[in-house]
């Protein structure tokens, strides 16, 4: 499973790259706004750092506007993926952009049939939001299972980006289901490393190391 960071924070991206576990980045208007920095400045920095797919979101409501914005965004780098909302107008834009060779990521997907529509429209990626479903007492992970089954049933090439991830169990379950990608906040990525027995084990080994004679370091 590929790991994407769901962020506009360049320092987080640098850290994940250093760890060697970062395959791509997703952004949205909220995440960019959180940085407090000018859009173009942040995006250019992200694109300089990341070789993998970087999703940048359109904000128009109509297909024509989305396509125009998508074309502009795609000019910023070969690895730009244009994020399009799951609406009828959005699906018109997906078909046009994909036909021009511009990859799309259909966002704000909350049902299996929405994901099916995105795949039929030819989207490169689809982003089912699991945390926001959990927030309203729906089973976010069931959505991922259903989308995976549907895509397997019909051999769709559209890749599943598990989005709106809140904690490491979401990442684990997404991997067990076989989702292609999990995009997560930096805090969740950091937690994936953690286990109390690892910390305890390191402490114990270091304590015992003090007793070892003739140490080379």
Report, as residue numbers or ranges, the catalytic residues: 83
Q: How far is the CB of 54 from ligand E4P (least distance, A)?
A: 11
x/- track of binding to ligand E4P for residues 100-139 (CB under 6 A): -------x-------------------x-x-xx-------
| CA gap 185, 102 in Å, rounded | 26
Which residues are paired to 183 by β-bridges? 4
Among 32, 93, 164, 174, binds ligand E4P (CB under 6 A): 164
# chain residues binding ligand E4P, by CB under 6 A: 11
| CA gap 136, 53 in Å, rounded | 30
Q: How far is CA 133 from CA 6, 30, 105, 166, in A?
A: 17, 18, 19, 11
In the bound state with ligand E4P, the residue whose beta carbon lies nearer, of 132 and 145, is: 132
Q: How far is the CB of 40 from ligand E4P (least distance, A)?
A: 19
Q: How far is the CB of 214 from ligand E4P (least distance, A)?
A: 53
| CA gap 166, 89 in Å, rounded | 29
Q: How far is the CB of 166 from ligand E4P (least distance, A)?
A: 7
| CA gap 34, 9 in Å, rounded | 9
Contacts of 165 (CB under 8 A, 6+ apart): 6, 130, 131, 171, 174, 182, 183, 184, 185, 188
In the bound state with ligand E4P, the residue whose beta carbon lies nearer, of 135 and 203, is: 135
In the bound state with ligand E4P, the residue whose beta carbon lies nearer, of 105 and 116, is: 105
Among 28, 114, 124, 159, binds ligand E4P (CB under 6 A): 28
Among 147, 163, 181, 189, binds ligand E4P (CB under 6 A): 163
In this structure, the strands spanning 104-109 and 159-162 are unpaired
Q: How far is CA 173 from CA 90, 144, 167, 179, 182, in A?
A: 29, 9, 11, 9, 10
In the bound state with ligand E4P, the residue whose beta carbon lies nearer, of 186 and 204, is: 186
For residue 145, which of 120, 166, 170 has the smallest C-alpha distance?
170
151 binds ligand E4P (CB under 6 A): no
In the bound state with ligand E4P, the residue whose beta carbon lies nearer, of 175 and 202, is: 175
Which residues are paired to 4 by β-bridges? 24, 183
6 binds ligand E4P (CB under 6 A): yes
> Which residues between 39 and 98 bind ligand E4P (CB under 6 A)?
none
């Amino acid at each position: 499973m590929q790991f994407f960071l769901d962020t506009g924070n360049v320092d987080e991206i640098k850290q994940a790259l250093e760890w060697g576990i970062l395959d791509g980045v997703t952004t949205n208007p909220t995440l960019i706004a959180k940085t407090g920095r000018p859009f173009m400045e942040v995006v250019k920095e992200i694109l300089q750092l990341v070789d993998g797919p970087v999703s940048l979101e359109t904000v128009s409501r109509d297909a024509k506007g989305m396509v125009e914005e998508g074309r502009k965004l795609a000019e910023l780098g070969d690895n730009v993926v244009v994020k399009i909302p799951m609406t009828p107008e959005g699906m018109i834009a997906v078909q046009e952009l994909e036909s021009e060779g511009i990859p799309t990521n259909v966002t704000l997907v909350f049902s299996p049939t929405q994901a099916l529509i995105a795949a039929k429209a030819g989207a490169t990626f689809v982003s089912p939001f699991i945390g926001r479903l959990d927030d309203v007492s729906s089973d976010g992970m069931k959505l991922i299972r259903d989308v995976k089954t549907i895509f397997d049933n019909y051999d769709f090439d559209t890749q599943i980006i598990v989005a709106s991830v809140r904690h490491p169990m979401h990442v684990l379950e997404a991997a067990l289901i076989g989702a292609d990608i999990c995009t997560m906040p930096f805090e969740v990525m950091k937690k994936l490393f953690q286990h109390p027995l690892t910390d305890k084990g390191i402490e114990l080994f270091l304590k015992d190391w003090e007793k070892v004679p003739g140490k080379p370091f």
